A and B are shown apart, each in its own frame.
Chain A
Amino acid sequence: MKLMFAALLGSLTLAVLPMAASAQDGPTMKRIAETKTFTIGHRDASVPLSYIGPDGKAQGYSIDICLKIAEAAKEELKLDKMEVKFVPLTPQTRIPLLTAGTVDIICESSTHTIGRSRQIAFLSTTFLTGSKLLVRKDSGIKSLDDMNGKALVAALGTTNEKAAQVEIDRKGIKLKGGEIIKVKDHSQAMLNLDQGRADAYVSDDVVLFGLASAAKNPAEWEVVGPYFSYDPYGMMIARNNDDFRLVGDATIARLVSSGEMQKIYDKWFMPGPTNINYPMSDRLKTNMGLVALPE
């Protein structure tokens, strides 16, 4: 049954299902009411979705959405005052801290997958991206098909690495060294690229645009290729948590309906504090229409 639920969730990815799932109130709302604190888990460098700004505070597109969810939770619980706390997370600490209840919600840039849904739950999709390649403009690489004999780098364990491997196997592309170079994080991937160890870095295109805009010489770099993976991002909460999920999904729906979501998007992406200049894609616009459930 769990398996079926996860499979359904993953295949639909839309917000239709969660609200209809059997009512099961979780520990999160109770904890927020008792402690009068709302704890947001965030990342340090997922620009511009969830990162630590120049002032040392967590900020970004995902954080802004979660602050709205915090307000809604406060209202729902009729609390006179509620503190919002921020906890920085790494990919290694996020699931243990979420399941242990140290954080109430994780607001970053995580792809909603079926496998991951076995451990935690995702709110409605609020961002869509997919895998592309970051290359030097003069490299002549236009897509994965041009990667024969070239070196490809990916961040370990990312959905992008997995998707690239599937494409490479399917198309019979022969990479230099026979396999993808795996690194720990974005900055090391960029270092590999910059030093000429690798010819292309595969990641979510929004991340690649961010990296290129932050490079020494942004004009040297280019994001290429058609999407070869589908990466819907969602906020993560503990499983079996329907009352909290309702607050989250309802907040997202209302933000879209009221037009506020577009404003938040423009604040971070058009052109955004890091000058990323990434207009809302047609796919994401369609997705927003789908998550904007009626009252």
Chain B
Amino acid sequence: MGSYNWNWPILLKSPYFGWIVSGFEYTCLIAVLAWLIAFPLGSAIGIARSVDNRFARAVGTFYVDIFRNIPLLVQMFLWYFVVPELLPHDLGRWVKRDMPYPQLTTAIFCLGLYTASRVAEQVRSGLGAIGEGQRYAGMAMGLTGFQVYRYVLLPVAYRIIIPPLTSEFLGVFKNSSLALTIGVLELTSQARQIEEYTFASFEAFTVATVLYCAVTLLVILLMRVIEGRTRIPGTITVGG
């Protein structure tokens, strides 16, 4: 690194500072909105994979197999470049030309659907960990299937899977960087842009790294708080 010319103040100069801020905002926006898709959808699919109905189980399994087995980068490409070509001509044209924020919308949608498949597996394993006994006990008491899930199984399952769900939530922040491949100006792509303009590579990527770490640490803290608040004494061992 003998000849590298460190230039930290450049990050505070216009327009680079603004780029970092806007990139960070996009990263958070993509991650949060994708999570809002992933969590309910993933929960629904996870539940579908645990019910008695064979059809629902098949649909859930199919979804998880498709979305979990295709690399996220490839999925981004498929949604952005291939799917619009398969749509009816007018709709495809609308998606390509008139849909608001086409890159951003596609990225959020794609990341949300992908993460949903991972959340679904966590929910399914949470439900599996409870065992069949509680389900039968609930049914013996005359609860409907919905009530068994709502009042017996899910409250415990969600508590069990808070630690792995934390990882998925962190993953959504980190995976949002792949949105740059379809042209969303999130944090990583802004770091790249600064690098291209100024060649200050180390500074730009250092600040991106620090911001990713900061936001993921915040998520970890948040999930710890949720875990602590929702703990039912005597049910789950205390974990980190």
Q: Which residue numbers of A lie inside 8 Å of B, CB to CB?
A: 2, 26-27, 91-92, 95-96, 99-101, 115-116, 118-120, 151, 156-158, 162, 176-177, 181-184, 188, 191, 195-197, 238-241
Contact = CB atoms under 8 A, between A and B. Distances in A.
A118 B183 contact: no
A101 B5 CA distance: 14
A188 B184 CA distance: 13
B100 to A, nearest CB: 8
What 4 A-B pairs have minimum CB-CB distances, sorted nearest first?
A157-B196, A119-B199, A157-B193, A99-B4
Contact of B200 (A119, A158, A195, A238): A119
Contact of B199 (A2, A116, A191, A197): A116
B81 A191 contact: yes
Nearest to A113: B197
A285 B197 CA distance: 28
Given A119-B199, A156-B183, A196-B93, A92 B3 contact: no
Contact of A197 (B1, B97, B192): B97
A188 to B, nearest CB: 8
Contacts, number: 89
Contact of B192 (A2, A91, A151): A91
Interface residues of B, number: 31
Contacts of A156: 180, 183, 185, 189, 192-193, 196
Contact of A162 (B85, B96, B197, B200): B197
Contacts of B195: 91-92, 95, 157
Interface string B194-233: 1111111110000000000000000000000000000000
Nearest to A155: B196
A10 B202 CA distance: 23
Contact of A195 (B1, B4, B85, B194): B85
Nearest to B82: A195
30 contacts: A91-B195, A91-B196, A95-B199, A95-B201, A96-B201, A99-B1, A100-B1, A101-B2, A115-B197, A115-B198, A115-B199, A116-B198, A116-B199, A118-B198, A119-B7, A120-B199, A157-B192, A157-B193, A176-B97, A181-B103, A182-B185, A182-B189, A184-B180, A184-B181, A188-B182, A188-B183, A195-B84, A195-B85, A195-B96, A197-B102
A236 B103 CA distance: 34
Contacts of A182: 183, 185, 189
A96 B200 CA distance: 9
A96 B204 CA distance: 12
A238 B3 contact: yes
A92 B194 CA distance: 11
Contacts of B199: 95, 115-116, 118-120
Contacts of B180: 156, 184
A156 B189 CA distance: 8
A116 B199 CA distance: 5
